Amino acid sequence: MISSGMARVRFLVRAISRSAALLLATIFTLSSAHAADYHLAPQPNWVVQRVLDVSAQPALGQALEGVFFQLVDQQTQLLPSGRTTYRRNAVQALSGRGLEKASHISLGFDPSYQSLTIHAVNVHRDGHLQDRLRTMAIKVLQRETDLEYRMYDGSKTVDIVLADVRLGDVVEYAYSIRGTNPLLLGKESGGLDMRWGLSVHHLYRRLLVPAGGQELTFRSHLGDFQPQIDTHNDWTEYNWAATDVASVAKESDTPRWYDPYAYVEWTTFKDWGAIARWAAPLFAVPKDLGLPLQREIERIAAAQSSPEARLAAVLEFVQSNIRYLGIEMGQGSYQPRSPQKVFQNRYGDCKDKVLLAVAMLRALGIQAEPALVNTVRRQAIADALPSPHAFDHVIVKAQIDGTDFWLDPTRQPQKGKLQRLAQARYGMALVVDAQTTALTPMPTTKATVYRRAITMDMDISGGYDHLSNLTITTVYEGMSADDMRGAVRNDDLADLQRKYQNFYLRSYPNLTVVKPFTVEDDEVENRLVTVEYYSVPSLVKKNSKEARPAVYYYVPDMRAALYRPDDTVRAAPYALRYPEDLTVSVRAVCPLYLAFPRPMQP
């Protein structure tokens, strides 16, 4: 990743809504809480104190998941030395589930450049305020939420558990996080969430910047959120306020890039070219690559004469020999490690692997640059404001004789002809180059398509109510070949066979495996073929009273591709795997007395 904080973080979800479920699913290393991890202090004097009315009661539909958010307040002060963000929340517990959420507070920060200060933890009950700041139970956790992806970001979580929280209590807490990653060089950007999956009674957002300082650009998403602007005492304030903010119901089967929640973006970066110029020094290739790496480059040069073969060889080397391991702590969230070090360690994250690949390709006379992409938002980053936080991944853009190749060194090892390799496709990319001025569209190539050709061969010559043989041949090409190749290499084949059998059992009850499926892999052409062997006892429906009953062939792969979404009345876009090319052919050897059975419609 580029940065562990690049994806826009939704504070309410992180701080309360995920609570126990997320914490139990996350790997922690517990350490004793001590003063170096956090501080207790009054709120900063630049903060505006909002009025909290704990007597407010939720209207119908406002209390979801057993909680009612009475106040959500976020105030950020931008200074040349960095930013400080103050947050204050008040949540009322209305059910047993709500008690779990309200009594458990998690505050995350990066200790390499951020400091955490807790200002208040109060419980409001029956018109009385109970100060819990000095009596709360605190643990400091080394939180590695992406450990299963071999990523370490070094972030910590101050975990607060409150005793004696009762139904109807309002838990109020306030804290601030100070610090900016030094590699941002004083430039700032961020987002202000305006709607969530939970309703909020009073919402406040505030940005405080020195008057005449860096110019801010704002953009609203899914709404028109215009700030109230006020300049006084050498400061400019941007304020947003809302009352009774309704929750947003998230529909099923939406694309990953679709965000149903309204928010406001802000940035001090002028355009995408400014982001490219900021990133270019971080990805500068050093002059000295070290003798071991230089020898590997010379080996590839001696073994491969054409630029196409050299590019494919470098990609395969980095994918196969440099294992993925992300250490995203502090400056490591943006700064790749030197190619010499990555080659020596034989591990690295996407930044490290890309810079190594770029260094090797340039040494071999091939034009190559890093390219920043977003694996979730994809083409939707074109609607975002320029910000380093718009990206969560890096790939390689190489060019040979005017043809661009978008390649991902973090993928499963890819072998074979360069033109047959499945290229990365994330919609839009920012090429890291001093001449870049805008995002670059990533084209869809033939090898990028998810292509499958499935042939179902059914031998029912013995009769429809007798044992039939079903042979299923699937030809995978493009992205599908890469995905299937990874499954064959990394998964248990017997388990894969069981999954395939269970898939077809939904359409053909009592289907059995005649023999294990076979695999034929042509890496040069990036084509993989599997053949599955089954038997089906009968194609006649049970309890049929007809002398010549109707017989249907089921085509489960086509039916799976054309399934109906759960939410058919919808406002959100519907997710489809794209680009996909699926062909299903059915061939049958039928009994002589009925040569034209009726195919089952999807």
171: β partners: 91, 123
Q: Which domains does the chain have, with CATH numbers?
A: 11-50+62-268 (2.60.40.3140), 277-445 (3.10.620.30), 449-599 (no CATH)
Enter the pTM of the model: 0.85
pLDDT of residue 548: 67
pLDDT digits (tens, 9 = 90+) for 490-534: 889 999 999 999 999 999 988 999 999 999 999 888 999 999 999
Which residue from 475, 595, 458 is spatially nearest to 538, judged by alpha carbons?
A: 458
Which residue from 59, 146, 576 is spatially nearest to 350, judged by alpha carbons?
A: 146
513: β partners: 534
pLDDT digits (tens, 9 = 90+) for 217-274: 999 999 999 999 999 889 999 999 999 998 888 888 899 899 999 999 999 999 999 9
Amino acid found at 585: S
Asked if residues 483 and 490 have their Cβ atoms less than 8 Å apart, the reply is: no
Which residues neighbour 49 within 8 Å (Cβ) at sequence distance 6 or greater?
43
Q: What mean pLDDT, rounded, does the chain reach?
A: 86
Cα gap 288→293, rounded to integer Å = 10
pLDDT digits (tens, 9 = 90+) for 76-125: 999 988 899 999 999 999 988 889 989 999 998 888 889 999 999 999 99
Which residue from 426, 420, 459 is spatially nearest to 442, judged by alpha carbons?
A: 426
Backbone angles phi, psi at 238, to 5 degrees: -120, 120
Whether 24 shows a pLDDT value over 50: the answer reads no
